């Protein structure tokens, strides 16, 4: 797999390492991009899909401000640790300012919530790892059987990808 991160280089300390990373299978054409100088937001385009990976620190809106300056493509998948509670994805939760910004952004850009509402994605019982997309027929589920040792659940998203037609011979 090829690794994409928003940080070009980093030292083994918490102040410089990236907080998001995306892996793409070797041999698949891909390009990785970031906005400004951030460790919290990255998008990678491959197979006609733009994958946006975000980490939002609790009570910090800087990653969301960067995201709000970005226009999703026709086939976008936005996923990450949003550290935000909202009744749309966690029934009964008190809504924070960060959650309202997320809702406003996904509503404005017609991105659908793929994360199952009320299904915890964190061991404390909260639903904070979220997936949104404008690709029809996408689905996301938690996969407890794929435990990776984190305090977050592994989330698996299925994306229908149409096969690329080979060029026609003349």
For the chain, 170 residues long, give each residue's pLDDT as a single digit of tens: 888 888 766 676 677 788 898 888 888 888 887 766 788 999 999 999 999 999 999 889 999 999 998 999 999 999 999 999 999 999 999 998 899 999 999 999 999 999 999 999 998 889 999 999 999 999 999 998 988 888 898 899 999 876 555 667 76
Among left, alpha and beta (phi > 0; psi -120 to 50; other), residue 137 is left
3-class DSSP assignment, residue 89: coil
pTM for the whole structure: 0.87
β pairing state of 155-158 and 112-113: unpaired
Instruction: Please tell me the distance from the alpha carbon of residue 115 to that of residue 89, in angstroms, as a whole number.
Output: 7
Question: DSSP state, 95?
Answer: P
SS3 content of the chain, % helix, strand, coil (to 5): 15, 25, 60
pLDDT for residue 170: 66
Give the per-residue pLDDT at 164. 54
CA distances from 55 to 21, 25, 52, 160, 168 (A): 10, 22, 10, 25, 43
Q: Are 10 and 96 spatial neighbours (Cβ–Cβ below 8 Å)?
A: no
> HSE on the CB side for 140, CA within 13 Å?
24
Task: Give per-residue burial for 81-91: e unless 16+ CB within 10 Å, then b.
Answer: bbbbbbebbbe
């Amino acid at each position: 797999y090829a690794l994409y991160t928003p940080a070009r280089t980093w030292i083994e300390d918490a102040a410089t390492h990236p907080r998001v990373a995306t892996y793409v299978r070797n041999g698949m054409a891909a390009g990785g991009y970031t906005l400004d100088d951030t460790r919290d937001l990255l998008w990678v385009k491959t197979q006609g899909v733009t994958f946006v990976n975000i980490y939002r620190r609790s009570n910090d809106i800087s990653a969301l401000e960067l995201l709000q300056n970005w226009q999703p493509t026709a086939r976008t998948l936005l996923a990450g640790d949003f550290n935000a509670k909202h009744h749309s994805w966690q029934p009964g939760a008190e809504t924070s300012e960060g959650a309202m910004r997320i809702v406003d952004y996904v509503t404005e850009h017609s991105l659908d919530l793929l994360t199952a509402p009320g299904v915890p994605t964190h061991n404390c019982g909260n639903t904070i790892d979220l997936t949104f997309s404008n690709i029809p027929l996408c689905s996301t589920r938690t996969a407890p059987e794929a435990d990776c040792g984190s305090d977050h659940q592994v989330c698996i998203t299925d994306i229908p990808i149409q096969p690329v037609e080979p060029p026609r011979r003349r």
